[in-house]
Chains A and B, each alone.
Chain A
Amino acid sequence: GENVEQHPSTLSVQEGDSAVIKCTYSDSASNYFPWYKQELGKRPQLIIDIRSNVGEKKDQRIAVTLNKTAKHFSLHITETQPEDSAVYFCAASLGGTASKLTFGTGTRLQVTL
C-alpha cells in the first residue's frame, strides 16, 4: 500500500519568514495530495490540495508543488504569522470519490515573534 514520509517533524521559524514542509510517497498511482492543518484539540482542516495534472498551486500565502517523477510534494508558507503555528499533515490518495487517504507523520510548525 501507499507510504507517505514527511519532513521535518518540527520546524521553528520567525514571524515573516517562509516555511517549507516536504513529503514523499511510494505509490506512483497516487494522484491527489492534500495538506491539512490541525490546531491543538481541533479537527484537521484542509488548507490546500493538488492533483497530479498540475505542478503547482497557490492560495494567498500558501503554495504546494508536486514532482510526480520524483514522487514528492511540498507545502510552502510565506510571510508566516503566529496563527500559522499548528501541526501540518500531508496525505496522498488515488483520488476519485472512493479513495482513502494515507497521511504523513506530521510537522509541528512554531512561528515565533
Chain B
Amino acid sequence: SAVISQKPSRDICQRGTSLTIQCQVDSQVTMMFWYRQQPGQSLTLIATANQGSEATYESGFVIDKFPISRPNLTFSTLTVSNMSPEDSSIYLCSGLGGAAEAFFGQGTRLTVV
C-alpha cells in the first residue's frame, strides 16, 4: 500500500505565528484529507484537499485559518495560521488507496506557547 511521509513530526510554535505541514505520498492518490486529533480523542476531519481546486472544509474550519494546497496528486500542505494555544493538537494527513481504504501520515504534534 502507499506510504505518506509527513513533516515536521513535531514543533513548538509561538502564538500568532503560522506553521505549514507537508505530506508527500509515494504514489498518486485521488483524494487527500487533513484531520486533527486532540490527545486521547478521535480524529476530526478538517478538510478534503482537492487537486487543482480549493479545499472543501468541514463545519467549524475555515480557509483563512487552515489554508490547504494540493498542487498535484502526490503532495499536499496544511497551514495553521495565526496560532493560539487552542490549536495545540496532532495534525494528520490521509490518502485514499485504490480500494478506497484510508492510510495516514505519521502525524505532526503541534504545541503553541
Residues of B within 8 A of A99 (CB): 31, 96, 100
> Separation in Å of the B60 CB from the closest CB of chain A?
12
Known A43-B106, A43-B107; contact A101-B42, beta-carbon cutoff 8 A: no
Q: Is B82 an interface residue (CB 8 A)?
A: no
> Separation in Å of the A70 CB from the closest CB of chain B?
22
Does A98 contact B30, Cβ atoms closer than 8 Å? yes
The docked-state distance in angstroms from the alpha carbon of A97 to that of B29 is: 9
* Residue among B30, B41, B45, B107 making CB contact with A101, cutoff 8 Å: B45
Total residues of chain B contacting the partner, CB 8 A: 21
Does B33 contact A100, Cβ atoms closer than 8 Å? yes
Does A46 contact B101, Cβ atoms closer than 8 Å? yes
**Smallest CB gap from B107: residue in A:** A43
Interface flags, B78-113, vs A, CB<8A=1, else 0: 000000000000001010101011111111000000
The docked-state distance in angstroms from the alpha carbon of A89 to that of B33 is: 17
Interface flags, B13-48, vs A, CB<8A=1, else 0: 000000000000000001101000000011111001
**Smallest CB gap from A94: residue in B:** B100
**Smallest CB gap from B48: residue in A:** A100
Scoring A91, A96, A101, A106 by chain B CB atoms within 10 A of each residue's CB, the highest score goes to A101
The docked-state distance in angstroms from the alpha carbon of A43 to that of B48 is: 19
The docked-state distance in angstroms from the alpha carbon of A42 to that of B6 is: 12
Known A97-B30, A100-B45; contact A43-B100, beta-carbon cutoff 8 A: no
Residues of B within 8 A of A91 (CB): 102
Interface residues of chain B, those whose CB is within 8 Å of chain A, are 30-31, 33, 41-45, 48, 92, 94, 96, 98, 100-107
The 10 closest A-B pairs by CB, nearest first: A43-B104, A103-B43, A97-B30, A103-B42, A43-B106, A105-B42, A106-B42, A44-B104, A97-B100, A46-B101
Known: A46-B101, A95-B100, A97-B98. 16 other contacts (CB 8 A): A43-B92, A43-B106, A44-B92, A44-B104, A45-B104, A97-B100, A98-B31, A98-B96, A99-B31, A100-B33, A101-B33, A101-B45, A101-B102, A103-B43, A104-B42, A106-B42
